[in-house]
Structure 1
Amino acid sequence: MDVSGELVVGESEAAMVYAKARRGMSPRQMKLALVVCMLLVAIPVGRWISGSWLSAIVTAEFAVVGLVVGLVLARALAGPAMRKALAARGQGHVIDVTFRLTQDALVYDLGDVTMTARWACVTDLFRTRKHWVFLVQSSAIVLPRRFFSTPEVERTFIANAMSRMTEPARARSRDALAP
C-alpha cells in the first residue's frame, strides 16, 4: 500500500514541533525556558547596575520584545534562504514523495533518497492538523494528510500502518486509533 504527493521543502516544520515534544522538550518549551532565564538574570543585574527595579524591568521587557521580533524575522527569512541555497546547488524545493507500507518496513521515497524503517523501529504514529508523523527511533517522518484522496483512504492507510507496528508503539499511538 502506498501514497504519494509533492512536498515543499520546509513545509513539515510545524509537525516537527509536535515530534520534538514527544521526544523530550519541545522548541516552544525551550524558548520559554530561555526567556525565563533571561528575565531571572536581566532584572536583578539591571537593578544592580541602574539602582531601579522599574528601569530594570522595562529594559528586560524590551529585550524580550527584541528576542521575539528576531525569532519572527529569522523564521520568515529561513524559507526563502533555504530555497535559494537549494537552487544554488541545482536542487528544487518541491520533491516527489512516496510512502510505502511493506510487510517488513515503512519505506519513504523522497526524490532520489529512499529511507527504510523496519516496523520494530517505528515507536509512535500521531496526527497533527495537517500531517501524520511516524517517529522512527529519534527521527520523524512526516506524511502530509493532503496526500490522501479521501478520508476513507487515509483511515485505511493509517489502519494498515498501525497493524504492522509493535504493540507498545500502537499503545503510544492513540491519535491513530481514533476514528
Structure 2
Amino acid sequence: MEVTGFIAAGESATALAYIKARRGLSPRQIMLIILICTLAVGIPVGAGLSGSWFAAAVSVEFAFIGTLVGSLIVQRLTGPMMRRALAERGQAYEHPFTFRLTPEALVYDSVDLTMTARWSCVTDIYKTRKYWVFLVQSSAIILPRRFFNTPEVERAFIAEATARLTEAARLRSPDTAAFLRD
C-alpha cells in the first residue's frame, strides 16, 4: 500500500516541533521557559539595580516584545531564504514523494532519496493536525495527511501501518487506535 504527493523542502520542520515535545521539550515550551525566566529574573534584578519595580518591569517587557518581534522576523525570512539557497544549488523546493508500506518495512521515497525502516525499529506513530509522524528509532519520517484523497483511504493506510507495528509500538501509538475507532 502506498500514497504519493509533493512535499516541500523543510516541511518536516513543522512536524519536528511535535516530535521534540514527545522526546522532551518542544520549541514552544523552550520559548515559554525562556520568557518566564526573563520576567522572573529580569524584573527583580532590574528593580534591585534601578531601585524601581516599574522601570524594571517596563525594561523587561520591552525585551519580551523584542524577542517576539525577532522570532516573527526569523519565521518570515526562513521560507524565502531556503527557497533561494535551494535554487542556488539547483534543487527544487518541492519533490514528489511516495510513502510505501511493505510486509517487511516502511519505505520513504523522494526523488533521489530512499529510506527504508524495518517495522521492528518503528517505535510509534502519532498524528498531528497536518501529519502522521512515524518515529523510527530516534529519527522521524513524516507523512502529510493531505496525501490521502478521502478519510477512508487514510483510515485504511493507518490501519495497515498499525497492524505491522510491534505490540510495544502499538501501545506507544494511542493516536492510531483513537483514529481507527472514530
Deviation at 1:79, TM superposition (A): 0.7
Identity of aligned residues (%): 60
SS in 2 for 1:146: helix
User: What amino acid is the match of 1:51?
Assistant: G
Partner of 1:21: 21
3-state secondary structure, aligned to 2:107: strand
SS of 1:98 mapped into structure 2: strand
Aligned to 1:158: 158
Residue 49 of structure 1: aligned partner = 49
CA distance in 2: counterparts of 1:59 and 1:136, whole angstroms: 45
1:91 counterpart SS class: coil
Q: Tell me if the contact between 1:105 and 1:117 (Cα under 8 Å) persists in the aligned partners.
A: yes
State which drifts further: 49-58 or 39-48: 39-48
Q: Matched residues in 2 for 1:31 and 1:46: separation?
A: 21
Q: Does the Cα contact within 8 Å between 1:100 and 1:107 map onto a contact in 2? A: yes
Q: TM-score, normalised by structure 2?
A: 0.94
Question: Counterpart in 2 of 1:97?
Answer: 97
State the match for 1:173 in structure 2.
173
Is the 1:23–1:138 contact (alpha carbons within 8 Å) kept by the matching residues of 2? no
Structure 1 segments (4+ residues) deviating >3 Å: none
Structure 2 matches for 1:26-37, cutoff 5 A?
26-37=26-37
Amino acid at match of 2:7: L
Partner SS, residue 34 of structure 1:
helix
Look up the SS of the partner of 1:96 in the other structure: strand
| 1:107 and 2:107 correspond | yes
C-alpha displacement at 1:46, in angstroms? 1.4
Q: CA offset at residue 24 of structure 1?
A: 1.1
SS in 1 for 2:74: helix
Q: Does 1:64 align with 2:50?
A: no
Q: Alignment partner of 1:107: what SS?
A: strand
- Count of matched residue positions in the alignment of Structure 1 and Structure 2: 179
Instruction: Give the distance between the partners of 2:23 and 2:111, measured in 1 at CA.
Output: 27
- Partner residue, 2:38: 38
Runs of at least 5 residues in structure 2 that lack an aligned partner in the other structure = none
1:13, distance to aligned residue in structure 2 (A): 2.9
SS, match of residue 120 in structure 1? helix
User: Cα deviations across residues 88-107 of structure 1 (Å, max 9, x unaligned)?
Assistant: 10001001111111111111
Offset of 1:39 from its aligned partner? 2.2
**Secondary structure of the equivalent of 2:18?**
helix
- Quick one: distance in 2 between partners of 1:104 and 1:38? 50
Residue number in structure 2 paired with 1:137: 137
In 1, distance between residues paired with 2:76 and 2:140?
23
